Amino acid sequence: MKKHRTLFITLIVTALVGAGIYNIYRGNGFKEVVRIINDKIGRSKSTSKTKTFNKQQYSVDDPSSQWVIVNKIRPLKPMDYTPAQLVAPDIKLRFDPTYSEMLVSSVIATPLKQLVEGASKDGLSLMLASGYRSYLAQQSIYNISVNDIGQAATDQQNARAGYSEHQTGLAVDMEPTSRHCETENCFADTPEGKWLASNAYKYGFIIRYPQNKQDVTGYSYESWHLRYVGIDLATQMHSSRIETLEEFFGLLNAPNYL
Ligand SMILES: [Zn+2]
């Protein structure tokens, strides 16, 4: 009789412990443990990534550097800087390649071609609307705009000579070959605009003037204006969700000229 009772109690205890373990395994307790472990692994991964990314790899001041940061408080030095080698990229161009605005720095010719080919594989057709702008060309664009709409309005949409990324040859305005929404806000909603927003970083380009960052970059959203910074930096900015060069490198906001 005693032997039976002991066996009975042992069975009950085993069943209760088993059910408890099962419940922990199935329940939120276990899921929580898994989540914490994954979180820890993920966090340590991203920490080591951030640590290994060298923010001093290229200069942000040298106008020929692929990381140069030009904005309303950081003019190019010298102001009339000209890239060493300008070439017409081997992609569709808005104008004849004899126009200097159809040129880009030789540094970005291949990445730009790869970007256009990438879009093409997804059934989209992009072309260059505008690339390099010399100091003199920028001066002329700025002055015409000032005469037209005044200086305050011009400063919101056109850079002063010596303050334009286009002068580095590393910036391009892209558009669909149909010219639909050519350098207009609605480009962001076209398939080409959406594709660039999602994929440009894979080819080393960023959307330099993102949405809601006018107080940082000095310019309202320009979904068509790409800036080459190299795949490493573009990918790092994408994965860390830091949209502007100013924020990534901890530089001052540049909403206005000094
Ligand atoms: Zn532009």
Domain locations along the chain: 2-52, 86-248
Give me the pLDDT at residue 156, please.
84
CB 104 within 8 A of CB 172: yes
Find the 225 Cα to ligand 1 centroid distance in Å.
4
| pLDDT over 80 (residue 46) | no
Find the 150 Cα to ligand 1 centroid distance in Å.
20
| pLDDT over 50 (residue 16) | no
Q: Which of 101, 165, 222, 243 is catalytic?
A: 222
Give me the pLDDT at residue 52, please.
85
In sequence order, the β-bridge partners of residue 105 are 86
Find the 171 Cα to ligand 1 centroid distance in Å.
7
CA-CA distance, 176 to 187, in Å (whole number)?
A: 9
Provide the angle, in degrees to the nearest 10, between the axes of the packed helices 2-26 and 28-52.
Answer: 40
* 3-12, 54-63, 75-84, 173-182: least confidently modelled range: 3-12
- Taking residues 214-220, what's their average pLDDT? 95
Find the 62 Cα to ligand 1 centroid distance in Å.
20
Give me the pLDDT at residue 6, please.
56
> What is the H or E stretch that residue 121 is in?
helix 106-121
Which CATH number does 86-248 carry?
3.30.1380.10
**How open is the CA angle 71-77-81, to the nearest 5 degrees?**
100
Give me 45's structure tokens: 């991964």
Known catalytic residue at 175 = no
CA-CA distance, 208 to 174, in Å (whole number)?
A: 13
Average pLDDT over the chain, rounded to an integer: 87
